[in-house]
Every structure is written in C-alpha cells, then in structure tokens.
Structure 1
Amino acid sequence: MDDRGTVVDTILRQLDALRSGASSPDAPGRSTTPMVDLVLPPAGITLTVNVRRTSMTDRADARRLPEPRPGDHPVLIAPFLSPAVRDELRRSGWSYSDATGNLLIQSSNPLVWIDRLGANRDPSPDPLSGPQRLRSLKGRSASEVIVRLLANGQVASVRELARQTEVGVATVSRVVEFLRDAGLVADVRSGKIVVSDKRRLALRWADDYSFTGTFKAKRYYSMLGDEIVLQRLRSAALPDYAITGVRAANDFIGQKNRVGLLPSTDLWLYVADLEHALTVLDLVPDPRGTILVAQADFLTSPESYRSGASELRSAQPWRVVGDLLSTSGRTAAVGDDLLRELLASGPTGMGV
C-alpha cells in the first residue's frame, strides 16, 4: 500500500491525535492509557490502540506486552520506539507508531501492510526513563552480557553483543560502558569489545551479583526426596532448566576426569517456569530446604546451558563461576577453582 495515499494520512492523523491526548497535562501518569478502538474502513479491521506517554527502548519491555489473540490488531503508539523494540513488536504481531514517523500497520487477515521509517534515535530522551549510567553489575541483563563476554573473550560490537544475548542495545551499551570505565574491557579495531582479564571481570561481577539476590532464588523441600527430583530432571519431565552451584561445577570437573571439588549438599536450579517446576518436582517452600530454585529468562538460549556427564543440564560454566564466587566460604572456593579450570582450558574449554 502506498504510504502517500489518503488512507495512511488519515491513520497518522488519528494516531497523532491519540498520542497528543496522552501527552497532555491532564492525561494519566506514566503508565499506558486504557485501550481505544481505531477503525480502518478500507480493510474492514479495527485497530486496538495502546497509548504510552513515555518512549520504549528496551526489548524486554516489548516482550511483556500481551500476545495478540486471533483476530486482534493491537497497535502501540509512543513518543519513540527504538529499533530493537520495533523489531520485537513486528515479530510478535503488534503494529506500532511513534512521533518520529516510525509506523507499521500489519494484518494477515485481511492482508494489510503499511510500513514507514522514522528516526532510530530518540530526539527527546526522557531523563527519568532513558538510558542512565550503570551503578553496579547486579542485574539479570548485566549477567547475560558478562557471561557471554567471559565465554567468548571478545565480540564484534555492542549491537552484535545485544543480538547474541537478546538484551536491549541500550542496556548492553551501559554494561559495556561500566566495564570500560573499570578497565575490564577494551575497544579495538573499530569497536570490537575485548575482555582485558577474565579473572578480574569475573571477580568484579561477583562483587555485585548473586544467584540468590539477583534471581531471587528461594529454598524448597522435596516431598519425594532429592533423588526423585534428579530422576525427573533426567527424564525430561521439566525441559527448561539448568543446574548451577557446586553440583554443576563438579559435573564440569568430572568431564575432565577429575574428582569433584566439594561434596554437593544443595541443589541449585534455574527454571523457565517456576510454578510449573514446583508442580513437576513436588516442591514446597522451606527456609531450611536443600533445593534452591530461581526463575530465569535466559534458558531460551541453547548457549546458556550444557549437557553434563550426569545426564543433567547444567548452566554455562561461566555463570556457575559467578553464582559460586558471589557466595562465601567453601562454595566461593569452589567457584575460584572452577574459574582457574576454565582459564586453563583456553578457548576450547568454555563448555558452551
């Protein structure tokens, strides 16, 4: 459809009016306004418009939007939508429009495709919601960036790192900026990011990050016993999980034909769906329980875990290093031993 036609002009005028109303002084707060219907007569469809007063720049925010139901045609309009957000909206079936001219109206039934390109940078970033300098490395997104940097040692660019980790470009940029300021990564050859010292990076990360703090891991007790939990994990009853902690470290060391670093008394688990995991594994909350469970989004990436010698799926070894180093005592010592093992293994021993 030609975007010079009156249909597109009419749509833009109506969307601009909705956006202007949302940004008026009398409009509601920073949250989205109630949905309204915008009729597109030539195609015979109704666009359900969700208006935001603030820009959206993080891909993760776009993923939190509800999945369109069959027959729905949701449209997100905002002051600005970043390229990563627009890409996520396009893939999930959402249409969009922002004040810089970015526009996509998509429908498969009836077939409608209106696409117009605006700005790729926010011309008026909100100082309260826009990118700000990172103050620590405790966040989940920061952990995904750092694990990837530790595993690879270098990456071509911030944008490539964002693509590999599926973390927003703005967030990745802030993490890399923090690491640059600390002298932990360097830029060479037109933007390539290179880890200066993996050991220093892992230890600095562990100062802020923790398995229990960052991922809100909680303790549980198995009604059937820990061995039954392990059997159910081996049987693929719970497909999206990864073991971390001492058990994962021992599993990695075992594949090197070495004895485990420390007897494992606890089972640390990442799961994609916490409620489903508790049901499948028959777990109940218990502050003295031996099973720690945390919900994590990164399990969707096959590079975030590995198949271990015990037929159990383990987290990427560099993440296990961070999880252990962030503790104290003997478990932290296991993390340091695993760190030395990974450094000695070289590029082929990352376990990715």
Structure 2
Amino acid sequence: MGDLLARGVEALGDLLGPTWDVRVVSTPQEAAGAGGRRLDALLEVHPEGGSVFAQLLIDLKSQVTPKVIEQQLLPKLDLVRQVTPHTHLVVMAPWLSPRSQEILRDRGIGYLDLTGNVFLRIPRPAIVISTEGDRRAPRSEQPRSGKPTLAGPKAGRLVRLLADIAPPYRAGEVAAAARLSLPYVSRLLDALEEQLLIRREGRVIVDVDWVGLLRLRAGHLSLLRHNSYVGMLSPNGTRHLMMRLRDRERAGREPRVTLTGSYAAHAIAPLAVGGQVMLYVSADLDSTDTVADDLGLLRVDEGADVLLLRAYDEVVFERNRDVDGIRQVALSQLVLDCLSGPGRMPAEGEAVLNYMAEDERIWRASGIEHTQRVQEG
C-alpha cells in the first residue's frame, strides 16, 4: 500500500502542476480527525504561497467493488463529513471499474487509480479534475480464472433473463429458465451482488439493476465481432425488403430471422434514418443462403445495405417481438446490440434504454412462469 500511496501522490502532483504543493501530513495511523477510525493517509493540497488548503483523507484499496463502496466507504464518508466537513474523502486504487467510478462520483467521493482514472472536485481552493484511464482492468488486476464474468454466451442468457423478467425469484428458477447449471448461476449471481447489480433477501433475488446489467454486459461485446456476418445488397430497396420480411413471417418460413440494430430502434428511438438493416439468422452454414434467396438479397463484398448476422447464441431469438408484422429482437437484446455496435448505434441503444426505463410494465414480464408459458405458446 505504501507504493500505491507514493504513486498516487506523484500522479496527483503531476495533474495539478508545479504551482501546487501536495504534502503527506500523516500515513497509516489512528486519525483524531476521523473520530478514531483508521485512515491510510492525510494529504494537504494548496497553491504555492497560498494560505488556503484542502485536506484529502486517503483510503487505499487494492480492489474496489460497488459493494465495498456501499459497506465500507459510505459509512466512513458520513462520519468524515460529520466530524471534519472540510476534509474530502479520496479513494486510491490500482484500477477502478467504470461502474465503481460512477458510484463514487454519484456519492461525491473522489478517486484516483494508477491507470489515469481520476475525479476530484473541491470548492476551496477550487480544484476540478476529471480524467479517463483504462476502461478494462490491466492484466494484473483481471479476475482469476474460474471467477465468472459477464463475457460469453452463458452469461448472456443469464443477463437477458434477469433483465426481461422482474423478480422475485430464486437461483434454481433462474438456472432452469436460462438452461444453465445451478453452480454456474450461483457463482455469477454472487459476482453480480458484489457489483450491486442484484439484491437478495436470503436466497431470493428481490431487485435487479437491469440498466447497469445491460451496460456492463454490452462492455464485453462487439456486435460485428461476436457474430460472423455476410454483407448483402437489397436491389429493390429497404421498403421492398420489409415487405418480403412480412411475407416470410406470415408463411412461417425457416430458418428464423429477426431484426435488430438501427432499423429495429427507429420506432422507439428515431435519432436518425437509414443505416444498415441487420438481421439475425441461425448459425447453420446454409441459413444465410436460404434467407438471402427468400428475401431477394445479393451477396456483396462492399457497399452492403443488409447484414445477415449468424447468431452467436439462440438467446437472440428468445422473447422476440412482433412489430408491424416483422419479428424483432427483445428490447434488452436490442440494447445490447446497439450499445456494442458501430457508428451511431450506441446512442440509439441509450435512447432505447431511456424508453424502457419510462415504463417497465410494457416490456418486462412479471414472473418466470408467465414468460415460459408465453414462449411455449
């Protein structure tokens, strides 16, 4: 921790520049100013020659999760503000995840990590610093093998289910509905609880932060890298293509096709017009040729206005919606695809998220049993 403090103080000094002094007043000891609670360091920051200075109460952490913030840092922050209202709590760590940074900012806690993620807002003397470093954990800070993350198809199934279906439910119900093993689901739920993405009472999940969950999952995805695709041209234009899609849906043709991307987002988030039509098809080798023949599409190497995406997992076809006679992905899948897509798609994904947040009842199922009955029907 001594090396972390030294490197953090050096980084803060570099950010403030040569006209500011950063001085370590005390290192790990019992701090009288913090009501007897242990602190890691107390810094004084002031401009050269100035009489006004700021005190920074430094909390050194080897790892910071949202649960650590809630259980350890927030009580300390409340105590510091009661005892020394002009002292500012600052977290120093090797690396802070984007979610941890967001929670710290929202709670008014400063932070500095060794990759360059820094947030500091002090009214007197006036200091405002906000910089971005690594969004992904350096190799030395990445989870050990065996610890579940939100990468991979299995995690995708769990995320979709937690987003699409409102709690309460138990891990066993979730595992069965998502067709996953209970041990895997239990480990991943533990990790999500650590990130405050779910909350449990006993063994029952009672709340899901589905917005944060979808954003975090999207950070592990790249729409056009995780789904192999074939570029196509619609000779008769998009309107004719949509007519062919409706005809194909009415005829119940296989393999399945479902619309995603900008064209699926337009009805909800009309930020722009145009863009490529993106259609999920099954991962079978001949599915793209079959669908292309049905829709009158021509394979091209450049200038494609239609992309046929071979679905990385069958979850993209679950809980699909019928919109004006065309099968479209569920809103949660649309958000994931847009947030992890190219160009303006992430902005469209955020707009879809805002639409979903306005009224969950219009898209979120009320229970696992209800959802299963809808899918079977």
Partner of 1:203: 215
1:148 to 144, 153, 161: 161
Q: Which amino acid aligns with 1:241?
A: V
1:221-300 alignment to 2 at 5 Å? 221-222=233-234, 226-236=238-248, 237-238=253-254, 240-251=256-267, 253=268, 260-272=270-282, 273=284, 275-282=286-293, 283-284=298-299, 286-296=301-311, 299=314
Q: Which amino acid aligns with 1:168?
A: S
Q: How far 1:238 moved relative to its partner? A: 4.2
Change (3 A) 1:221 1:329: closer
Change (3 A) 1:265 1:308: same
Partner of 1:312: 326
Cα pair 2:166 2:364 within 8 Å, conserved: no
Could you give the per-residue CA deviations for residues 62-116 of structure 1, whole angstroms, max 9, x where no partner exists?
Answer: xxxxxxxxxxxxxxxxxxxxxxxxxxxxxxxxxxxxxxxxxxxxxxxxxxxxxxx
Once residues 341 and 171 of structure 2 are traced to their aligned partners in structure 1, the CA distance between those partners, rounded to angstroms, is 30
Q: How far 1:233 moved relative to its partner? A: 2.1
Cα pair 2:199 2:206 within 8 Å, conserved: yes
What's the TM-score once normalised by structure 1's chain length? Answer: 0.53
Q: Unaligned 5+ residue runs, structure 1?
A: 1-130, 254-258
Cα pair 1:325 1:332 within 8 Å, conserved: yes
Cα pair 2:224 2:341 within 8 Å, conserved: no
Q: Which amino acid aligns with 1:318?
A: S
Q: Which amino acid aligns with 2:242?
A: L
Change (3 A) 1:234 1:170: farther
Cα pair 2:255 2:287 within 8 Å, conserved: no
Cα pair 2:164 2:332 within 8 Å, conserved: yes
Once residues 256 and 173 of structure 2 are traced to their aligned partners in structure 1, the CA distance between those partners, rounded to angstroms, is 25
Q: Which amino acid aligns with 2:163?
A: L
Could you give the per-residue CA deviations for residues 190-211 of structure 1, whole angstroms, max 9, x where no partner exists?
Answer: 3222444222222111111232
Could you give the per-residue CA deviations for residues 275-296 of structure 1, whole angstroms, max 9, x where no partner exists?
Answer: 2232232342525422222233
SS of the aligned residue for 2:216 comes to helix
Once residues 232 and 226 of structure 1 are traced to their aligned partners in structure 2, the CA distance between those partners, rounded to angstroms, is 10
2:344 to 330, 334, 337: 330
Aligned alpha-carbon RMSD (Å): 2.9
Once residues 281 and 233 of structure 1 are traced to their aligned partners in structure 2, the CA distance between those partners, rounded to angstroms, is 11
SS of the aligned residue for 1:208 comes to coil
Once residues 200 and 151 of structure 2 are traced to their aligned partners in structure 1, the CA distance between those partners, rounded to angstroms, is 23
2:356 to 339, 342, 351: 342
Cα pair 2:258 2:279 within 8 Å, conserved: yes
Change (3 A) 1:328 1:299: closer
Cα pair 2:162 2:208 within 8 Å, conserved: no
Cα pair 1:321 1:335 within 8 Å, conserved: yes
Q: How far 1:217 moved relative to its partner? A: 3.6
Once residues 291 and 170 of structure 1 are traced to their aligned partners in structure 2, the CA distance between those partners, rounded to angstroms, is 40
Q: Unaligned 5+ residue runs, structure 2?
A: 1-144, 366-370, 372-377
1:179 to 192, 203, 212: 192
SS of the aligned residue for 1:235 comes to helix
Change (3 A) 1:202 1:301: closer
When Rg is computed on C-alpha atoms for both structures, the one with the higher figure is: 2
Change (3 A) 1:306 1:288: same
Q: Which amino acid aligns with 2:194?
A: D
Q: Which amino acid aligns with 2:278?
A: W
Q: How far 1:159 moved relative to its partner? A: 2.0
Q: How far 1:265 moved relative to its partner? A: 1.8
1:14-29 alignment to 2 at 5 Å? none
Change (3 A) 1:238 1:266: farther
Cα pair 1:137 1:209 within 8 Å, conserved: no
Percent sequence identity is 25
Give the number of aligned pairs. 213
Could you give the per-residue CA deviations for residues 13-53 of structure 1, whole angstroms, max 9, x where no partner exists?
Answer: xxxxxxxxxxxxxxxxxxxxxxxxxxxxxxxxxxxxxxxxx
